[in-house]
Amino acid sequence: MSSEKAIADRIVGILGELIARPSAYPPGDTAAISAYAAGILGKAGYATETIARTPTWDNVVARLGTGQPSLVFNAHADTVGVGAREKWKTDPFKAHVEDGKVFGLGAGNCKGSMAVQLWLAEEIARRSGPKRGEVVFTFVADEEHLGPDGMFMLREQGKVKPTWLVLGAQTENHLITEERGILWAKITTHGRAAHAGKPENGDNAILRMMRVLEAVQKAMGHRLATRVSGDKKSTINIGMLHGGHNTNVVPSLCVAEIDRRLLPSEKVGEAFAELKEIALSLEEPMGSVEVEFLTGTNGFTAPKSGEGVKAFSAAIEAVLGEPARFLNATGVSDGRYFADDGIEIMNLGPGSGAEGHAANESVPIAEMVQSAKIQLMAVEKLLGLKDA
């Protein structure tokens, strides 16, 4: 393996090229950054294809080796937008190195991990590829949009069938091996419009919604108080509420959207049925309350005794000189699409989660080098390398 300085120089160079290729959502255009990644992978000898269902929302899949087991690495190529430009101290689309860190839009989330994985791909190829199975690198769009045209599509089309799935994330090179499930649902209440001067002639949909949401919040509050697993909690949040169209009109329609975070032991279908049962339990007129499923995925748990988790844990301890820590995920990753596939799913990468989606985001160069060494060591443990 190259010296730490050589590793750092190559990763920083790649990251600079990634930052220079805007890929913010909206509009979600990953064509340029995907073409750059595909160029590196193709030159290294990977069988590489670019796949898009929505024009310019390009996804790259590159593989070396054949058959099982399949070790799949993933990083999302899209970013959030710049936000308030005046809050940036440097050009967000030009990598800036200062105090041992690389600054730029997406440096932490998730182009730092993408740069590490591209270095890793080159190093695996330089050492003639895996002794057994295959290694696959995926760089995807539509992650920031939480949409179906990225990793969801690759699974749907059978482009990747992981034994182990490793997602780039800002974990300071420790592990996230559990993730809560997510359910989004919409409640709609109907009423009858009337002039506000005679509200008794109408049927107020907002007041109906208030009664429904009070019942949901009260019932779920009691039930979720006991749904705890370690640091993880089952939660509910009323995230959006829209009703009425003019102040002087009794509203005939009100809509609320709800976010449920589920323990890995809970299932999306059961959680939706529970919510629907509570919302429809009130003595409201027939058809005046509707509950609609919007989206949802189950949570996942990769056991600490699993072959993949053990390999990455050992590599973390060898490189960092401390036991791997298992972190609690606040949000959700693209790993959720594989939650029901019976595979080991892990999130790992350089940088702190506090840096993501913020002006002047950065990633430490030393952590990128450490991440590269950890992931290469894990590949050696799981698949072996022909030029060991």
- CA dihedral sign of residues 323, 347, 70, 336: positive
What pTM did the predictor assign?
Answer: 0.92
Same domain for 283 and 317, yes or no, is no
Tokens, residue 194: 């009337």
Say if 215 falls within a structural domain. yes
Same domain for 20 and 71, yes or no, is yes
Asked whether 261 and 181 are in contact (CB, 8 A), the reply is yes
CATH number, domain with residue 325: 3.40.630.10
Say if 357 falls within a structural domain. yes
Question: Parallel, antiparallel, or unpaired: how do β-strands 134-140 and 232-233 relate?
Answer: unpaired
Same domain for 117 and 29, yes or no, is yes
Q: Total domain count for the chain?
A: 2
Say if 388 falls within a structural domain. no
Whether residue 26 has a cis bond before it, omega within 30° of 0: yes
- For the chain, how are helix, strand and coil distributed in percent, rounded to 5? 35, 25, 40
- Single out the residue in 273, 297, 321 at which a domain terminates: 297
State the Cα–Cα distance between residues 42 and 364, nearest whole angstrom. 28
Same domain for 116 and 170, yes or no, is yes
Residues 6+ apart with CB under 8 A from 236: 216, 217, 220, 221, 224, 258, 259, 260, 261
Same domain for 293 and 304, yes or no, is no
The DSSP secondary-structure symbol of 325 reads P
Say if 99 falls within a structural domain. yes
Tens digits of pLDDT across the chain (388 residues): 679 999 999 999 999 999 999 999 999 999 999 999 999 999 999 999 999 999 999 999 999 999 999 999 999 999 999 999 999 999 999 999 999 999 999 999 999 999 999 999 999 999 999 999 999 999 999 999 989 999 999 999 999 999 999 999 999 999 999 999 999 999 999 999 999 999 999 999 999 999 999 999 999 999 999 999 999 999 999 999 999 999 999 999 999 999 999 999 999 999 999 999 999 999 999 999 999 999 999 999 999 999 999 999 999 999 999 999 999 998 899 999 999 999 999 999 999 988 878 899 999 999 999 999 999 999 999 999 999 7
Residues 6+ apart with CB under 8 A from 78: 23, 24, 25, 28, 30, 140, 141, 142, 143, 144, 145, 150
Same domain for 70 and 108, yes or no, is yes
State the Cα–Cα distance between residues 162 and 155, nearest whole angstrom. 9
Same domain for 187 and 239, yes or no, is yes
Rounded alpha-carbon distances, angstroms, from residue 70 to 194, 215, 228, 308, 324: 62, 47, 33, 11, 23
State the Cα–Cα distance between residues 56 and 68, nearest whole angstrom. 31
State the Cα–Cα distance between residues 41 and 64, nearest whole angstrom. 10
Residues 6+ apart with CB under 8 A from 218: none
Same domain for 122 and 167, yes or no, is yes
The residue range of the domain holding 37 is: 4-179+299-382
CATH number, domain with residue 212: 3.30.70.360
Same domain for 271 and 190, yes or no, is yes
Say if 387 falls within a structural domain. no
Same domain for 170 and 42, yes or no, is yes
Same domain for 284 and 306, yes or no, is no
